[in-house]
Chain A
């Protein structure tokens, strides 16, 4: 079979996600199809499956076995479930509310400075290993309204409708982006977050066998994380300049 057919799994993911099918199902189907195209059997020929025809093939690890092995190895990535009761209880007694108060106390004069501050807050949460559903929990109810307020002050109005729609769209996009930037690069600064654990599990897997420590992974994530904060700050300050020009012009 031509090698290129192995990319069928990639096509399945693209089409499946584009059609908004259940992600878990799309991912698993892609894995099964790719494995079968590559000539892997469903099961390893050992134990109860010893010598079973069709389902196994001598000397090859089965797809279901690989799935089970990898899923068990990657349990690290989902270990945070053990912290959910404590976090849930803290939320019940005002964790989100208090975090919101914490952010609101930031008196950032401009949209850009506010977004830089929020990104830093998000990086800090990443370092502490705290997972947030940032877009629904902070960006929509908190960061965007505060950014809009800063823009209104800049334009000398008190209503959002007085702001040009193009600028409001920019502020919305920037608010969502500051969450993504802080989340993606901040989380690698903690040894107990998913990305670092994936690197750890992958490099330490028996087939690869490097003895790598979580702390060295975190250490080498620092330069890129620092750069991400700097590049984002430049973009947000540039946004400030853009807004200043067009809002003062609109006044």
Chain B
């Protein structure tokens, strides 16, 4: 017989939140399937269903099966089978919801603020119970989503069904792009397993003496920025640079806190994102949205900022390693 404490622990685990997310995705899949005005209804439904299955069973399913489901999802998206054309009147031209007249004022922020509040509260509660505060924050995010849904319906008088329809609208407006960070992170892991990072590390070792911390930090940040410039995204570059360069050349030999080194390395990549046309969503699409004459106008504005920040990244990481 499992004890009540064990049941509570199981209910408050990350897997519960994954299952909740899976259930939400099943509803999105079902709403897509029921939408007779969506010409891609079967493909869209299957895409969100597969993601739901991965969320719900990803911790217990064999990895090859998860991998095949990812292949299926990308196949559907690649064939142009995922996506939802909004019905007329449902959305305005910026893709936002047509708004209801309300007198709620600033109270509309309350349900949304409940999400970070609960993430914080769960982290604190986990800490008091001697658990992992990181896990607490993530479990709190999940339950915060549910609590915010409940508070939102109570506040607005809307129904849960309406909230799920609105959630699906938001979800579909982002479409397959939603899985992109997760997919790019996975690409980075495949690159790392293929030892792409070793190539970069070999190059660095050929030029920089292994005891020169400052130059290694600079090379690490440069590698991250260049890789991001080329790939258009720091998320795929990060696992490659971290496992190939940061950990073997800096963290291990110098005994550096990996959390400190890793987050600064990630944001060194962000300076690359600011300077590359490959990051179209951030740099090219906005120029188009604003009808700029020069499609690279946003990038040109950002370059001086990005270069200054790059230098500061090197200095900050080096100083934190030296001083902390």
Residues of A within 8 A of B (CB): 3-4, 6-7, 9-10, 13-14, 17-18, 22-25, 27-28, 30-31, 34-35, 37-38, 40, 43-44, 47, 49, 61-98, 102, 127-130, 133, 135-137, 139-141, 144, 165, 169-170, 172-177, 179-181, 184-185, 188, 190-192, 194-196, 198-203, 205, 207-208, 210, 212-217, 220-221, 223-224, 227-228, 231-232, 235
Given A71-B186, A72-B58, A77-B181, verify A90-B108 contact (CB < 8 Å): yes
B114-170 interface (Cβ within 8 A of A): 115-116, 119, 123, 132-134, 137-138, 141-142, 144-146, 148-149, 151-153, 155-156, 158, 160, 162-170
* Chain A residue contacts of B309, Cβ below 8 A: 224, 227-228, 231
* Chain A residue contacts of B198, Cβ below 8 A: 3
Task: Please determine whether A81 and B64 come into contact, CB atoms closer than 8 angstroms.
Answer: no
* Chain A residue contacts of B166, Cβ below 8 A: 85, 88-89, 91-92
* Chain B residue contacts of A66, Cβ below 8 A: 63, 67, 186, 189-190, 193
Give Cα A47 to B260, complex, Å: 39
Give Cα A35 to B193, complex, Å: 8
Task: Please determine whether B259 and A174 come into contact, CB atoms closer than 8 angstroms.
Answer: no
Give Cα A231 to B311, complex, Å: 12
Give Cα A223 to B191, complex, Å: 30
Give Cα A136 to B51, complex, Å: 27
Of B1-9, B35-43, B70-78, B210-218, the stretch lying at the interface with chain A is: B70-78
* Chain A residue contacts of B148, Cβ below 8 A: 83, 86-87, 90
Task: Please determine whether B97 and A92 come into contact, CB atoms closer than 8 angstroms.
Answer: yes
* Chain B residue contacts of A83, Cβ below 8 A: 115, 141, 144-145, 148
Judged by a CB distance under 8 angstroms, whether B187 is at the interface is yes
Residue total for B at the interface (Cβ-Cβ under 8 A): 148
Give Cα A191 to B297, complex, Å: 33
Task: Please determine whether B54 and A72 come into contact, CB atoms closer than 8 angstroms.
Answer: yes
Task: Please determine whether B263 and A196 come into contact, CB atoms closer than 8 angstroms.
Answer: yes
Task: Please determine whether A79 and B179 come into contact, CB atoms closer than 8 angstroms.
Answer: no
Judged by a CB distance under 8 angstroms, whether B293 is at the interface is yes
Among A30, A31, A133, A217, the residue within 8 A (CB) of B259 is: A217
Task: Please determine whether B182 and A78 come into contact, CB atoms closer than 8 angstroms.
Answer: yes
Please, what's the 1-or-0 string for B66-92, where 1 marks a CB less than 8 Å from any CB in chain A? 111111011001101000000000000
Task: Please determine whether B54 and A71 come into contact, CB atoms closer than 8 angstroms.
Answer: yes
Among A28, A93, A140, the residue within 8 A (CB) of B99 is: A93
Task: Please determine whether B286 and A6 come into contact, CB atoms closer than 8 angstroms.
Answer: no
Give Cα A101 to B101, complex, Å: 15
